[in-house]
């Protein structure tokens, strides 16, 4: 692992690191904020998964999360959204290829060689973090925006016991039922729709649910709301009688202005679970 940068940030440290990834067969970069409490021992960890076209840097710079994480004594990790590099498959469209890993393990050509983002985020990167930093991996929570909200919700439900809480900002909630989601799932996982179900938060809610608190915010002026399908996930939550807070925020869109507005509440929500 190589240190790209480390900056003092709210009495803690905001670092950026790169390392060779076995899962993705390329170098991967991530950001990690450690609060000052990490100098004295392991601290809880909140994952932030970013959306389409983003890198590790977008939320790290725009979300304003470090201030609230420092207040709560929580570390933040910002993984990249896909493998990258000259030898990594890509597509001209913004919603496929580099910057659009969708947090799945691709099985189809040309994506399978590098696009193993599920294994990277759920196996390889956690092991590296635990080995290298003062983190309490028994206390983890997860959040994300858009495609990252999709990843956060699916990982939380598919990995029971891993995360104490899950939240999302404008998540892609029912990709198997939207033209947008079906495009990526077909490209990465093929035409067998049974393989898609484990990457659809609405279907996972119907099948498994989540043993913990859930918080989801979506803006009523979100330009992608018809593709996000918050109503599908809300119906699944209601049918399952799942503990969850689902909010439609009037006037907000899909931008980081929206994310940063509600970030304090999301970090406090996770702190309640991480310190329970």
List, in sequence order, every residue forming a beta bridge with 247; answer none if it has no partner: 217
Give per-residue pLDDT as tens, 13-67: 999 999 999 999 999 999 999 999 999 999 999 999 999 999 999 999 999 999 9
Write the pLDDT tens digit of every residue in 203-248: 999 999 999 999 999 999 999 999 999 999 999 999 999 999 999 9
β-partners of residue 24 are none
With a CB cutoff of 8 Å and minimum separation 6, the contacts of 123 are 23
125: Cα separation from own chain's centroid: 13
Going edge to edge, which strands form the sheet with 214-219? 2-9, 12-21, 26-34, 75-79, 43-49, 135-144, 166-169, 214-219, 245-249
Instruction: Quote the CA–CA distance of 146 and 132 in Å, as a whole number.
Output: 29
The yes-or-no answer on residue 56 being catalytic is: no
- Which residue reads 């790209």 in tokens? 4
Is residue 222 flagged as an active site residue?
yes
The per-residue pLDDT for 23 is 98
The whole-number average pLDDT for the span 58-82 is 98
Q: What is the DSSP letter of 165?
A: -
Find, among 179, 235, 169, 224, the residue nearest to 202 by Cα: 235
Reported as type and span, the H/E element at residue 271 is: helix 256-274
Burial class (CB in 10 A: 0-12, 13-18, 19+), 182: middle
- Per the CB < 8 A criterion, the answer to whether 23 and 123 are in contact is yes
Residue 94 pLDDT greater than 90, yes or no: yes
Instruction: Write the CA distances from 129 to 1, 48, 124, integer angstroms.
Output: 11, 14, 9
Catalytic (active site) residue 146: yes
pLDDT of residue 179: 82
Rounded to an integer, what distance in angstroms lies between the CA atom of residue 85 and that of residue 27? 8
- What pLDDT shows up at residue 72? 98
- According to DSSP, the residues that pair with 102 across neighbouring strands are none
pLDDT at site 180: 78
DSSP 233: H
Catalytic residue among 146, 165, 173, 178: 146
Per DSSP, 123 falls in state I
Which one of the listed residues 56, 145, 199, 254 is annotated catalytic? Answer: 254
Record the pTM: 0.97
Per-residue pLDDT tens digits for 126-143: 999 999 999 999 999 999
Residue 78 bridge partners (DSSP)? 31
DSSP 149: H
The DSSP annotation for 24-80 comes to TTEEEEEEEEE-GGGGTS-EEEEEEE--TT--SHHHHHHS-HHHHHHHHT-EEEEE-
Best CA proximity match to 59, nearest among 183, 152, 194, 176: 152
Domains defined along the chain, listed by start: 2-274 (3.40.50.1820)
* List 80, 200, 217, 222, catalytic entry: 222
Residue 144 token pair: 């994300």
179-198: per-residue pLDDT in tens? 878 999 999 999 999 999 99
């Amino acid at each position: 692992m190589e240190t790209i940068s480390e900056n003092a940030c709210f009495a803690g440290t905001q670092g950026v690191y790169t390392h060779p990834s076995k899962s993705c067969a390329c170098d991967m970069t991530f950001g990690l904020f450690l609060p000052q409490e990490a100098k004295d021992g392991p601290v809880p960890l909140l994952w932030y998964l970013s959306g389409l076209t983003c890198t590790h840097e977008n939320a790290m710079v725009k979300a304003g999360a470090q201030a609230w994480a420092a207040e709560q004594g929580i570390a933040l990790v910002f993984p990249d959204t896909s493998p990258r590099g000259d030898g990594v498959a890509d597509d001209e469209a913004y919603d496929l290829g580099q910057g659009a890993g969708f947090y799945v393990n691709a099985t189809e050509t040309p994506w399978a060689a590098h696009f193993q983002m599920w294994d990277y985020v759920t196996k390889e990167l956690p092991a590296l973090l635990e080995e290298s930093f003062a983190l309490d991996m028994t206390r983890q929570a997860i959040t994300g925006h858009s495609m990252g909200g999709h990843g956060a919700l699916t990982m939380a439900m598919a990995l029971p016991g891993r995360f104490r809480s899950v939240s999302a900002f404008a998540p892609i909630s029912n990709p198997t039922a939207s033209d947008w989601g079906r495009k990526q799932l077909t490209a990465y996982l093929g035409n067998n729709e049974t393989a898609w179900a484990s990457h659809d938060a609405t279907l996972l809610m119907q099948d498994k649910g989540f043993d913990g608190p859930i918080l989801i915010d979506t803006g009523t002026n979100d330009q992608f709301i018809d593709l996000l399908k918050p109503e599908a996930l809300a119906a699944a939550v209601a049918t399952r009688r799942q503990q969850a807070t689902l909010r439609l925020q009037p006037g907000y869109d899909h931008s980081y202005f929206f994310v940063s507005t509600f970030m304090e509440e999301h970090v406090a929500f996770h702190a309640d679970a991480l310190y329970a």
